[in-house]
Structure 1
Amino acid sequence: MDSKNNNNKAAIAASTYEIGRSDSDSDNSTVNSSQKIDSSEQVVPTDSEKYFATVRSSESLSVSSQKPQYFSSKLHEWAFIFTCLMGQLLNQAGTTQSMSIMNIIAEDFGSETSKQAWLFASFPLVSGSFILVGGRFGDIYGLKKMLLLGYAILTIWSIICGLTHYTHSDDFFIVAKAFQGLGVSFILPNIIGLVGTIYEPGSMKKNITISFIGAMAPLGATFGGLFSGIVVVKDDKNWPWTFYAFAIVSFLVGVTCYFFVPDNVPTNTNNLKMDWIGSAVGVVGLLLFSFVWNQAPMDGWDKAYIIVLLVISVILIIAFFIYEINYAEVPLLPKAITGNRHIIMILLAIFMGWGTFGIWSFYYFSFSLNLRHFSPVWTGGAYFAFILSGFTIASCVGFLIKIIRPSIILVISITGFTMGNLIFAVTPADQTYWRNTFGMMLLLPLGMDLSFPASSIILSDQLPPEYQGMAGSLVNTMVNYSQSFCLGVATTVEKQINSSGDDLLKGYRAAFYTGVGIGTLGISIASLYMFETFWTDYKEKTKLANDIESSIERTG
């Protein structure tokens, strides 16, 4: 009997030693030992064990990874996935399409140079502010209906963006760009909602689809800037065709959605209601807050209306959270989110990461056009490295998720964003593209391609079943809104450093270092979450091993 107990204890010790290794190995060792536990005791798996168990079980879902009644054929399913990918591509293309030609647009409108930041910021500002509302509309009134509404808005306002050429009003153009973002706010959350509804949780097909949706970010950013540069190669006055062509593509994708997005997706199965008060207060607060940060560098922080709007926006944002937590009947942000520290940490990390990318994006184009004097087509075309690196990374994400914790992938992604700003901050203006610039473009897709699937999976694990559809909406809100807000912060720093516009390089570097600071904060938050999950799993596994040993001793 003693020999048997000693053998059991040795097995337990070996199992405990393996805790620091892969989850799959530790699962096997603890399961073998736990067979001797008294039947009255129940072992509760850790969150990490649940996640990897879900991923492993997904390998057996090749037949049932999606509910078969949604698609009549493989072609039907592939067409649906194509529409999902195009939604993310158009989002990023819409963000960068005016960047490679921003000097041409500014000259055509007679705009001040300081106003160029709005050519970038207005689109993600509005899309980020409305995404949660667009997602809730989809949950209540139908995901497909709101998706089609989003494409209709995007198509109409893309045409109007081109027509502003005849108004000679840069303010009208900026407003039209903002309404383009409104269309995207109804597209992105409902795409993710459809994928989440149609495919089984944890299935390989769902993970790969989400991964390739993320991969469309670098592809869309490349096409947006490159196509705009091509349009103006022969004549700068052709720039409106950038937006007319964008409208045509948006319309065609919308038509494809009409025919290939399934009609029988369940609608409002959780009996949700629209939170009108919370939506209005939250959206207005977010719009005003980012508006102040992007407008103040142009008009100055000493202007009375800037201070008044800043105070109002802060009051509205605070009021939004108070109302959502204490008074809303069906809150836009349920307590499962506002009361979950881990969810808040993940959202903050994503906010910081994509905020640094927003800074990098605007100042990459400014640096290339104003200091290196690249042509618009070469400035946009230089993004080709995004495609090479992006698709390589995206093709691996679906498999990496099986063997690496999402929290680790998230840290890597935020690091990729931050390194892009750090490398650019020390890049000489006269250096060849093929050194620092090419290198950072290979690193940045780490952030773009890894952050979306990693954060979506983590949030999906953290949220209860009735709020699964919110994971994508929350991530997209952070992705889009952060680019507008953080750009405003960086522009404020740049204007204070660039000697009233006489030292552009000094100002641009100050903006890049601002991005490095924001990104470092994001890395710290993501790392804290990662180490906390490691520590929690270690403690739970240690407790499990001790419980097994105690049970064996009692039954021995």
Structure 2
Amino acid sequence: MQLMMVLDGTVASLALSRIQEDLGLSDAGRNWVITSYALTFGGLMLLGGRLGDAFGRKRVFIAGVAIFTVTSLLCGLAFNEATLVAARALQGVGAAIASPTALALVATTFAPGPVRNQAIAIFAAMTGVGSVTGLIAGGALTEVSWRWIFLINVPIGLVILVFAFSSLSETNAERLKLDVPGAILATLGCTAVVFGFTEGPEMGWGSPLVLAGLIGGLVLLGAFLLVERRAENPLLPFSLFRNRDRVATFIAIALVGMVMFSLAPFVALFVQDVLGYTPLRAGLAFVPFAFGLGAAAFVASKLAVRVPPRWLVVAGTLLTFAGLMYGSTLDTSTTYVSHMLGLVVGVGFGVGLAVVPLPLCAISGVGPHEIGPLAAIAQVANVLFGPIGLAIVGAMATSKTLSLGGVSGVPAAEMNPAQLDALSQGYTFALLGCAILAALAALAALFIRFTPEQVAQAQAAEKAAQEA
């Protein structure tokens, strides 16, 4: 399940150009293909984890995989923008139910000790394997048809269901009061804000619908905070945010998530629409990013217990900032080896330096019973703020393109040179937006005061919690 979810997130970015051309999507509709999935996934993830505790993890996991599999089929059969976006949103619901239950099932399926440690290591490795495999397999599948990036999930999902029924044991259900209102308000609030930023450039920032989305989203998020203060079993316990260092950590996690979520689609669109790469070639062009990230993650995991973690995060985000500022100067004359290879590796390395210490900072200095909730909130912050970042960066890109005489929703192959240049400048302006987010993440990281000793304790506590 973990491998399938990572693959799905990677390949969708590579297929955007083909999907937009085939279904005639607007630029806003193109962004919704990515954001609709992430909004429901991130918004409902905490509730999905509680469902497993309340109704039994095997049962909930199977339900989530079934929803994900059926909606993947619907995505592959979509015939217009509305059907694809709706199916992607439902696919995110399935992922939100299955994903948080999957790791918990590893802990209940395998005996404590070396066997469980090996299972957790394999589970974690699926993220790296899926990232690289998704770039290659996703590009190859998109060459045939973008529909196959979703249809390939169907046989995989069926295999998961067969083994889940036969191999997993049910866990005891707990009597929990679920915070359904909180999950719904958080998801709807973020969706409304994303709608406002996504549709603003094309509908007009003074449009009643755009204003209603932005204002209504803020009202819904305010209502979410009120509900959480009074909820019996809140998704977001405010007691976990009394530490200022932890608040700064979550802000940095959210901003880094916005950078990563926004970066991939626009680089993929730039190399395909502007440089004329095929989806497979675009996927291969991304592979050095994964290697740069992996190398930095290895270095950061060693240094995080020796140097203050904020300096690793600051160094990583500033390296990312510098790379993206350079990326914002690319144009139609760009070549991969001369201009992009070093950029891709450098930004990957910068992101890797930042993403390793931040989750450890999120769980530093707390008791064993608080590690799980804090780790889950950190994951949600990373996933849920990504669509908001893409909406803001996407609005920058579309506004820039339209201001230069470009057009929205027209295949790049049908554009004249002036329109293509406007499109190129829009995409690179999006990279400037990502660079600004990276700089803000570096600023937030300066306020993280956790020590290397606290990070080392967090590493040990996290390992102990997994082995318990």
**How does the TM-score come out when normalised to structure 2?**
0.82
Q: Is the contact between residue 346 and residue 526 of structure 1 (CA under 8 Å) also seen in structure 2?
A: yes
Residue 303 of structure 1 aligns with an amino acid whose one-letter code is S
Match of 2:194 among 282, 285, 290: 290
Equivalent position of 1:522 in the other structure: 441
Question: SS of 1:99's equivalent?
Answer: helix
Equivalent position of 1:182 in the other structure: 93
Equivalent position of 1:229 in the other structure: 139
Match of 2:217 among 313, 321, 346: 313
Change (3 A) 1:288 1:478: same
Residue 486 of structure 1 aligns with an amino acid whose one-letter code is G
Deviation at 1:199, TM superposition (A): 9.7
Q: Is the contact between residue 211 and residue 397 of structure 1 (CA under 8 Å) also seen in structure 2?
A: no
C-alpha separation in 2, matches of 1:126 and 1:448: 25
Change (3 A) 1:500 1:485: farther
Q: Is the contact between residue 420 and residue 443 of structure 1 (CA under 8 Å) also seen in structure 2?
A: yes
The aligned runs of 1:532-547 (5 Å cut-off) are 532-534=449-451
C-alpha separation in 2, matches of 1:410 and 1:127: 26
Equivalent position of 2:9 in the other structure: 95
Residues 306-337 of structure 1: CA deviation (Å, up to 9, x unaligned): 11122121111111112212x21221111222
C-alpha separation in 2, matches of 1:211 and 1:515: 32
Q: Does 1:137 align with 2:51?
A: yes
Q: Is the contact between residue 58 and residue 170 of structure 2 (CA under 8 Å) also seen in structure 1?
A: no
Rg: which structure is higher? 1
Unaligned runs of 5+ in 1: 1-85, 538-556
C-alpha separation in 2, matches of 1:448 and 1:259: 40
Q: Is the contact between residue 217 and residue 448 of structure 1 (CA under 8 Å) also seen in structure 2?
A: no
Change (3 A) 1:180 1:276: closer
**How does the TM-score come out when normalised to structure 1?**
0.70
Question: SS of 1:533's equivalent?
Answer: coil
Range that drifts further, 504-513 or 291-300: 291-300
Equivalent position of 1:239 in the other structure: 146
Residues 190-247 of structure 1: CA deviation (Å, up to 9, x unaligned): 344456778999x9999998787666445434433432332343x5xx3322211122
C-alpha separation in 1, matches of 2:109 and 2:305: 21
Q: Is the contact between residue 195 and residue 210 of structure 2 (CA under 8 Å) also seen in structure 1?
A: no
Match of 2:226 among 314, 322, 329: 322
Question: SS of 2:232's equivalent?
Answer: coil
Equivalent position of 1:251 in the other structure: 158
Change (3 A) 1:402 1:533: closer
C-alpha separation in 2, matches of 1:108 and 1:370: 14
C-alpha separation in 1, matches of 2:82 and 2:356: 36
Equivalent position of 1:506 in the other structure: 425
Deviation at 1:385, TM superposition (A): 1.5
C-alpha separation in 2, matches of 1:229 and 1:535: 41
Question: SS of 1:487's equivalent?
Answer: helix
C-alpha separation in 1, matches of 2:147 and 2:43: 26
C-alpha separation in 2, matches of 1:424 and 1:213: 34
Q: Is the contact between residue 300 and residue 312 of structure 2 (CA under 8 Å) also seen in structure 1?
A: no
The aligned runs of 1:453-468 (5 Å cut-off) are 453-468=356-371
Question: SS of 1:252's equivalent?
Answer: helix
Q: Is the contact between residue 417 and residue 447 of structure 1 (CA under 8 Å) also seen in structure 2?
A: yes
Residue 139 of structure 2 aligns with an amino acid whose one-letter code is G
C-alpha separation in 2, matches of 1:199 and 1:410: 34
Q: Does 1:492 align with 2:403?
A: no
Range that drifts further, 283-292 or 189-198: 189-198
Q: Is the contact between residue 207 and residue 398 of structure 1 (CA under 8 Å) also seen in structure 2?
A: no
Question: SS of 2:216's equivalent?
Answer: helix
Q: How many residues align?
A: 438
Q: Does 1:332 align with 2:235?
A: yes
Deviation at 1:254, TM superposition (A): 4.5
Deviation at 1:378, TM superposition (A): 0.6
Equivalent position of 2:280 in the other structure: 377
Residues 34-65 of structure 1: CA deviation (Å, up to 9, x unaligned): xxxxxxxxxxxxxxxxxxxxxxxxxxxxxxxx
C-alpha separation in 2, matches of 1:231 and 1:330: 44
Range that drifts further, 215-224 or 429-438: 215-224
Change (3 A) 1:396 1:516: closer
Residue 304 of structure 1 aligns with an amino acid whose one-letter code is P
Deviation at 1:109, TM superposition (A): 1.7
Residues 403-446 of structure 1: CA deviation (Å, up to 9, x unaligned): 45554544455445444523322334423212442223323444
Deviation at 1:359, TM superposition (A): 1.8
Q: Does 1:160 align with 2:74?
A: yes
Deviation at 1:465, TM superposition (A): 3.7
Change (3 A) 1:435 1:357: farther
Identity level (%): 22
Question: SS of 2:12's equivalent?
Answer: coil
Deviation at 1:339, TM superposition (A): 3.3
Change (3 A) 1:197 1:413: farther
Residue 90 of structure 2 aligns with an amino acid whose one-letter code is F
Deviation at 1:133, TM superposition (A): 1.5
Equivalent position of 1:281 in the other structure: 185
Q: Does 1:303 align with 2:207?
A: yes
Equivalent position of 1:148 in the other structure: 62
Q: Does 1:437 align with 2:340?
A: yes
Equivalent position of 2:413 in the other structure: none
Q: Is the contact between residue 297 and residue 491 of structure 1 (CA under 8 Å) also seen in structure 2?
A: no
Question: SS of 1:523's equivalent?
Answer: helix
Residue 240 of structure 1 aligns with an amino acid whose one-letter code is R
Question: SS of 1:302's equivalent?
Answer: coil
Residues 274-322 of structure 1: CA deviation (Å, up to 9, x unaligned): 1233223222222222222222233222210111122121111111112
C-alpha separation in 2, matches of 1:107 and 1:218: 30
C-alpha separation in 2, matches of 1:450 and 1:206: 28
Residue 228 of structure 2 aligns with an amino acid whose one-letter code is E
Question: SS of 2:205's equivalent?
Answer: coil
C-alpha separation in 2, matches of 1:196 and 1:424: 43
Deviation at 1:447, TM superposition (A): 5.8
RMSD: 3.4
Change (3 A) 1:389 1:494: closer
Match of 1:358 among 253, 256, 261: 261
Equivalent position of 1:349 in the other structure: 252
C-alpha separation in 2, matches of 1:92 and 1:415: 26
Equivalent position of 1:20 in the other structure: none
Equivalent position of 1:549 in the other structure: none
